[in-house]
Structure 1
Amino acid sequence: MYENTYPTKRFKLTLEFLKEHIDRTNHILDLGVTNPLSEVMISEGYKITNTSGIDLDEDTHEVETEDYQVVTAFEIFEHLVAPYNVLKAIKAKKLVCSVPLKLWFSNAYKNENDPRDRHYHEFEDWQFDWLLEKAGWTIIDKKKWTHPTNKIGLRPILRYFYPRYYIVYAERQ
């Protein structure tokens, strides 16, 4: 079903990590509008509700409910100016989230045609860990993986060796 290509590799590894930590009976609030990954999660039996697309920097009310046992956020926090505010406001006790890692050989992602599709942050793993801990989360498990491409050049070769994605499972009391 999944190949070693983007986004299928990312989806496969994300789903494997989710299955390790989250039971399908939990109700999940997935940050961001319905997307191909949330549809894959639903097809795998997870109960998912997506946020409405509000600006989470400006309005955190959708995460301030106790209706969900788990919040997931896959490649969301790098788009926020202040991810700390959302992380602090979450009422669920479990969090599974992933972010792209900062790569020394590549600039932060910026879509010139869509001002919402930009990375305000590309974290090093220790920075993201610190952000989670400061917001009251205890990291239980974490994993990194690479993002190879089929292009030719130095950067594509480096992408075989340097992890691009970082996923974390965290809990709070």
Structure 2
Amino acid sequence: MYENTFPNKRFQHTLAFLQKHIAPSESILDLGVENPFSKIMQQNGYKVENTKGEDLDLDFSSVLESDAEVVTAFEIFEHLLAPLHILSSTKANKLVASIPLKLWFSPAYRSKTDKWDRHYHEFEDWQFDWLLEKAGWEIQDSQKWTNPVKKLGIRPLLRAFTPRYYIVYATRK
């Protein structure tokens, strides 16, 4: 379906989960700049507005000003120091968010060339659930999936069996 788009498996799982819970008629604020997945959402009939690249730890005015019914955040919260603030402040009543899970056999991701492309948090599922609950969200559905890689070794073998991604659909309490 998305042969030339990396990462295929994650995008396919994410789109199927989104389509299960969110109608294309619902307006979406997607946290983060326009990206390959926001384009996939648009190609599938969703009306998507993105944030503009501001530091969402310090400036979430675009979230406060948005009247979108749904907030999506796909692999965003692990980059924020304080995701509670933005999760608590949105006016949207629905949330679809995914995160990479913390893997016991792999350190948190940190780019050596990009100071913004770092994971301040790699959550376990219960930690992310707790964060959402504290921010006023109630999880309605969730799913996990693996991210196997085509390499040899112990870590690649573990990746074939250990869930790497976690996605939730939540509504306001």
TM-score range, shorter chain: over 0.9
How much has 1:70 moved relative to structure 2? 0.2
The CA deviation at 1:7 is 0.5
2:172 partner amino acid? R
Contact 2:99 / 2:123 at 8 angstroms: preserved in 1?
yes
Q: Deviations over 1:15-66 (max 9, x none)?
A: 0000000000001000000000101110011000000010000011111135
**Who is 1:98 aligned against?**
98
Shift of residue 167, structure 1, vs aligned partner = 0.1
Could you report, residue by residue, the CA deviation over 1:60-119 in whole angstroms, capped at 9, with x for unpaired residues?
111113510000000000000001111011110000000000000000000011110000
* Equivalent residue, structure 1, for 2:65: 65
Q: Does 2:11 correspond to 1:11? A: yes
Q: How many residues are treated as equivalent by the alignment?
A: 172
Counterpart secondary structure, 2:161: coil
- What secondary structure, in the 3-state scheme, does the structure 2 residue paired with 1:64 have? helix
d(CA) in 2 for partners of 1:112, 1:90: 32
Instruction: Give the conservation status (yes or no) of the 8 Å contact 2:144–2:164.
Output: yes
What stretches of structure 1 of length at least 5 have no aligned partner? none
User: Amino acid of the residue matched to residue 110 of structure 1?
Assistant: R
The residue identity in structure 2 corresponding to 1:102 is K
Output the CA distance in 2 between the equivalents of 1:95 and 1:24.
14
Q: Quick check: 1:161 aligned with 2:167? A: no
Question: Which consecutive residues of structure 2, in runs of 5 or more, have no partner in the other structure?
Answer: none
Task: Give me the whole-angstrom Cα distance separating, in 2, the residues matched to 1:166 and 1:127.
Answer: 11
- Letter paired with 2:168: V
Which residue of structure 2 aligns with residue 124 of structure 1? 124
RMSD: 1.2
After superposing on structure 2, the runs of 4+ consecutive aligned residues of structure 1 that deviate more than 4 Å are: none
Residue 55 of structure 1 corresponds to which residue in structure 2?
55
Between 41-50 and 63-72, the greater mean CA deviation after superposition: 63-72
